[in-house]
Chain A
Amino acid sequence: MLKPPLTFKHRLVLPLLLSLVLILGYPLAFSLWISLHDYRLTAIEQARWVGWAQYFTILAQNASFWNALGNTVRFVGIAVSLELVFGLLLALLLHRKATPFRHFFRAALLVPMFVTPIAVGLMFRFLLNSQLGVVPSVLRALGITIDWFSAQQALITLALIDVWQWTPFMLLLLLAGLESLPEEPFEAARVDGASPLQIFWHLTLPMLRPTILAAVVIRMLDAFKVYEYVYAITRGGPGESTETIQYHIYRVGFLYFRLGEASAMSYILIAVILMLVVLLFYALRRESLSQR
């Protein structure tokens, strides 16, 4: 007996698939089309085919694009590594039953994560402002002068703001990971006289590695999209020292109206992120296979 081309269960998901094609497929296809054209919002009728030359020009001749990509990688590296360290420390503290008020802190520490990033950016813009900011004022009283937004410091400052906002996310994932670990190996290690440091190094960390990897992957992908802090605080300055890739794409696409070029940059960014995802996914798989 021949199977019908579309079974009942297939027909059930058809509306969803059609919606996805319309909502995701059309914009993606259109943005791919304009990425191959010299497409400017102020001269739409004059859009002309330039093909892959647009991609080649960006990759081979656009120093600002590479600078922005470099800034983004530096930002992600600083922010995610600090978030991992602080998140792990906090998770270990909150995992201990002896920690006082641990349930209160679990709730309180999550607050920054629920503030919209543009508001966080504006908040820190004023907190760190050399004229009005409470932070420079307190530091001055202690005899410390830091120019938070100098060319050398600004990107680190933005990364620290990201750390303030997203360490709770790392904490949440790592705490869930810690609480899912079996108790028996730890009891055996304590019976054998292992020190807390040894237990952490030889048991906790290896057993937590898949969770750490997953948390790092998710945070890295999210940190790659940094835009709001840059827009609210530095606008990419001083010079191009804090121009991240998302801000650069915004600048080309929506400030200069060169949407074709901005779309090509977006596709290059997608390619970079996908490569990163594939690499991290294989690392995850190897990790999960070695655990078996």
Chain B
Amino acid sequence: MKGHRFSFLLGAAALLAACAAPSAPAATTVPTRPSEAAAAPVTLNIIMEQVPDYDIVASLTRQFEAEHPNIKITFDAMPYDAMRDKILTSALAPSASYDVIIVDNPWMDEFARAGFLLPLDDYIAQAPDYDFNDFVGPLRDIGVVDGKVYGVPYYNYALGLIVRQDLFDNPDYQAKFQQAFGKPLQVPTTLEDYVAVGKFFKSQGIFGAAMQPQRGYKIFEEWKNWLYAAGGNLLDAAGNVIIDNAAAQQALEMYIDMYKNAAPPNSVNWGFDEALRSMSSGESATMLSYNWMLPTLNKPDGPAGELAGKFALHEVPGGKAVLGAWHWAIPKNTASADAAWTYIAWITSKAIDKQRVIAGGAPTRVSVMQDREVWEKGFGQQYYETVLKILEDAEPLARGARAEEIINEVGTELNSAVAGEKDVAAALAAAAQKTRAILARP
């Protein structure tokens, strides 16, 4: 008898492991024609990632509220990992929890095609002096899905090569490099040079590159720059999967060569934080990272301490960079679409965007990056010109309704190869096969 009771309890415990799902949302009516923001008081709830740029936006927003007394803004700032679920839950609910959202570029096509987002074309067309074409082309294009604009650029995540310029300018290192390779020590512009420079610095007691081979998003984001430099891509112009071709093979072999022979040991799980620590502590000479990390590293009271001022930003080897971006968007089920657009149009307007960039925000508008006042009050002409060059020749990490899944699955296979669990050919074949299967789903 006791035994029966015990088994029932265990059975019940096992059954409790099953998961439930939310029910389908009711249909909602949404405003389709832009108009002036309602005069009635409205509170906009905005979801954002808890990063320094959010602080800048939050502080500028006080100015917005003063100019628009009928619109109150509340922010729900959170870590990146929590955002996608929250946005999805809000989108599936009968009424929106969020009136304004920010959308990461792998989610843009997915959310737009799922019918979660409101097209912004009419709003943009009727906004006075908005100049939508002033946003850098590749950034602007991410927000366009099936010919309609669903997102306005807020923040760029394009990658650049951040180097310890003082090491490259060091006469002793220059002489040694010249002697070893028969050419001057320069910031690398090709993969071959990058690996050679990385190994050279390792031989001098400094790791050549603080890499980010962490499974999933991070390794895919970093390695895809190598893939571009080798002449490869995830898909060709016709949409065929080509991640297992010769260029990809070469890019991954060189990436692993750099990891094994120039990167800090035991860094197969490193992501953004670890690589930044390695750079700022003086352990490593270079890293591929977000362009806006340069001001952080060069800040006198920043993480790099005495090394502040010794870092420089360059284009990634090969020139073509991976582009990530946040976009402002309006959920289809919000009851305050007009007010939401009023806020987005204000925060992304030329004048306010200039203030945001001067305060340290990641630039998105060409006019702002070419503005002398921004150069003087921000981080200098060279920095903004380099960022603009990077952005103009950048391509999104992945596009399509299943970008998130492709990024994670390919990133898993790449990490397997770096960790030595699979050989390069097998990992790339698996990545290609998984990508084809994902794209083939109805």
Contact = CB atoms under 8 A, between A and B. Distances in A.
Interface in B12-43: 13-25
Contact of A131 (B110, B215, B277): B277
B79 interface: no
Interface in A23-66: 24, 26-28, 30-31, 34, 38-39, 41-45
A221 B14 contact: yes
A130 B264 CA distance: 10
Contact of B88 (A41, A145, A147, A270): A41
Contacts of A253: 19
B19 A249 contact: yes
A38 B17 CA distance: 21
Q: Name A's interface SS.
A: helix
Given A45-B24, A234-B269, A288 B3 contact: yes
Given A150-B419, A236-B215, A241-B421, A221 B266 contact: no
Contact of A269 (B17, B420, B442): B17
A33 to B, nearest CB: 9
A102 interface: no
A225 B416 CA distance: 24
A149 B269 contact: yes
A159 interface: no
Contact of B215 (A27, A239, A254, A259): A239
Given A30-B20, A251-B408, A266-B17, A238 B268 contact: yes
Contacts of A26: 20
Contacts of B214: 235, 237
A267 interface: yes
A266 B18 contact: yes
Contact of A270 (B17, B264, B274): B17
A34 B85 CA distance: 19
Interface in B365-401: 401
Contacts of B419: 150-151, 237-239, 241
B92 A44 contact: yes
Contacts of B111: 42
Nearest to A34: B21
Interface in B216-255: 216
Nearest to B414: A239
A147 B17 contact: no
Contacts of A85: none
A131 B278 contact: yes
Given A237-B412, A277-B11, A27 B20 contact: yes
Nearest to B23: A30
Contacts of A255: 404-405, 408
A44 B88 contact: no
B404 A237 contact: no
B162 to A, nearest CB: 18
Given A41-B88, A254-B85, A284-B6, A238 B416 contact: yes
Nearest to A222: B13
Contact of A237 (B3, B92, B215, B274): B215
B299 interface: no
Interface string A278-290: 1011001100100
Most chain A CB within 10 A, of B85, B269, B401, B418, is at: B269
Interface in A192-240: 214, 217, 221, 225, 234-240
B85 A237 contact: no
A263 interface: yes
Interface string B263-274: 011111100001
Q: Interface residue tally of chain A, by bracket?
A: 35 or more
B92 A41 contact: yes
Given A30-B20, A267-B18, A239 B421 contact: yes
A84 interface: no
Nearest to A27: B20
B408 A277 contact: no
A257 B265 CA distance: 36
Contacts of A270: 14-15, 17-18
B286 interface: no
Contact of A42 (B114, B264, B415): B114
B388 to A, nearest CB: 34
Given A38-B442, A281-B10, A235 B216 contact: yes
Contacts of B88: 41-42, 257
A257 B413 CA distance: 21
B215 A28 contact: no
Nearest to A29: B20
A256 B107 CA distance: 11
B17 A273 contact: yes
A262 interface: yes
A89 to B, nearest CB: 26
Given A151-B420, A274-B11, A281-B7, A237 B18 contact: no
Contacts of A145: 265-266
B202 interface: no
A239 B415 contact: yes
Interface in B103-162: 110-111, 113-114, 116
A42 B408 contact: no
A237 to B, nearest CB: 3
Contacts of B68: none
Nearest to A38: B442
B17 A131 contact: no
Contacts of B72: none
Nearest to A257: B88
* 9 tightest A-B CB contacts, nearest first: A237-B215, A27-B20, A239-B416, A238-B419, A42-B114, A151-B419, A147-B266, A281-B7, A273-B14
Interface of A: 24, 26-28, 30-31, 34, 38-39, 41-45, 129-132, 145, 147, 149-151, 214, 217, 221, 225, 234-241, 249, 251, 253-257, 259, 262-263, 266-267, 269-270, 273-274, 277-278, 280-281, 284-285, 288
20 contacts: A27-B18, A27-B19, A41-B22, A42-B111, A42-B114, A130-B265, A131-B278, A132-B277, A149-B268, A149-B269, A151-B416, A236-B412, A237-B415, A238-B416, A251-B408, A270-B14, A270-B18, A278-B7, A281-B6, A281-B10
Given A132-B277, A281-B10, 8 more contacts: A27-B20, A42-B114, A147-B268, A237-B419, A255-B408, A270-B18, A278-B7, A284-B3
